[in-house]
Amino acid sequence: MFHIMKHGHYISRFGSKPGLKCIGMHENGIIFNNNPALWKEIRPFFTKENAIVLKIQNYFDAWQALLLKPDIFFKFSWLYKKYEKSARDLKEAIEILIEQKRQKLSIVEKLDDNMDFASQLIFAQSRGELTGENVNQCVLEMLIAAPDTLSVTVFFMLVLIAEHPQVEKAMMKEIQNVLSDREIQSDDMPKLKVVENFILESMRYQPVVDLVMRKALQDDVIDGYPVKKGTNIILNIGRMHRLEFFPKPNEFSLENFEKSVPYRYFQPFGFGPRGCVGKFIAMVMMKAILVTLLRRCSIRTVKGKGLNNIPTNNDLSLHPNENQPLLEMIFIPRCNMEKS
């Protein structure tokens, strides 16, 4: 597993070519772009930085539905027509937003104040480094990839906080010591060790993405086993996190991260050249969200229900079944708790 994630000849992923074409991800963007040369050109731009929400959700549903379908599925247009429409709707919305961004950039006086992720991509296109289609797809993938996994990960974290009040108490003590009465700032992030350990343990114990997909771009040998070029590989990192290294692998416990964990044994974001490009910003966002919520509220689940009671679906990633009432949570303002 470590060997595959580490080496550059496994940077490709696999999936249904017609399915990826249908949603615009075939040799486009970075998530499932299986053109290594093009993927390497695009990826650096990701390291720099209500109607549409519904379109994003529909696109994500299409992505999950089509990725691993056999080619024969795409012989019948009525089977995938609705998914194709979802992809087209979101692409059209993204094109409008990018064109608005282009117009804004053409009239601003100081470019430095407007050099965000989309701007970097637009200027890369003007220099001939990217096509317009790749600019659109990169913005689209930035919109769909992070919010979905991040929101589900935070949901599972909130359930775990409700199940483990002693962990909530430890985090609140640290938050008070580090921040006192002021709002969280970027300099505070490295000091929130308990919060960070909670995030890491949550991702280990209840991963949202527990499988990593790779495709061998050349022949290889791993621990004596030959791997042929073109081999599709699925790495079960969720299982690895329960079997190796950790002192309490089958329990939710901050003790699992009291000592430094070698990165070969813990890879919630993947590893190597095809690891998640958003892992650093994701950690910052999760810390900021948790600190902001915990300072204002204590969290309880309805009727004491926890993770084991929540029905889930696991397609490309793990999601709670959103039609179930067991997803409800209670947020108790801390000012009310102090009065009582």
In three state form, how does the secondary structure of 326-337 look? HHCEEEEEHHHH
Q: Are 42 and 130 in contact (CB under 8 A)?
A: yes
Q: Give me the CATH number covering residue 323.
A: 1.10.630.10
Quickly state the pLDDT bin for 48 (edges 50, 70, 90): very low
Can you tell me whether residue 301 is helix, strand or coil?
strand
Residue 6, CA distances (Å) to 11, 232, 259 in order:
9, 16, 23
Highest-confidence range of 36-40, 71-75, 216-220, by mean pLDDT? 216-220
Sequence-distant contacts of 225-232: CB under 8 A, at least 24 apart? 232/14
Report the distance separating Cα 85 and Cα 88, nearest Å.
5
Residue linked to tokens 């979802």? 86
- Write down the pLDDT at residue 114: 67
Model pLDDT, residue 71: 85
Task: Provide the pLDDT for residue 221.
Answer: 93
CA–CA separation, 40 and 274 (whole Å): 10
**Share above pLDDT 90 across residues of the chain, in percent, rounded to a whole number:** 22
Please give the single-letter amino acid code of residue 187: D
| Mean pLDDT computed over every residue of the chain | 82
Domain count, the chain: 1
Q: Check whether 168 has a pLDDT greater than 60.
A: yes
Q: Higher-confidence residue: 4 or 163?
A: 163
pLDDT at 60 over 90: no
Range of the domain at 186: 2-339
More confident residue, 312 or 135: 135
Residue 56: pLDDT above 70?
Answer: yes
Residue 46 in this model has a pLDDT that exceeds 60: no
Whether residue 202 is predicted with pLDDT greater than 90 in this model: the reply is: yes
**DSSP code, position 28:** S
Find out whether 30 and 137 touch, Cβ atoms under 8 Å.
no
Per-residue pLDDT reduced to its tens digit, 211-269 = 888 888 999 998 899 999 999 888 888 888 888 889 999 999 999 999 899 888 888 88
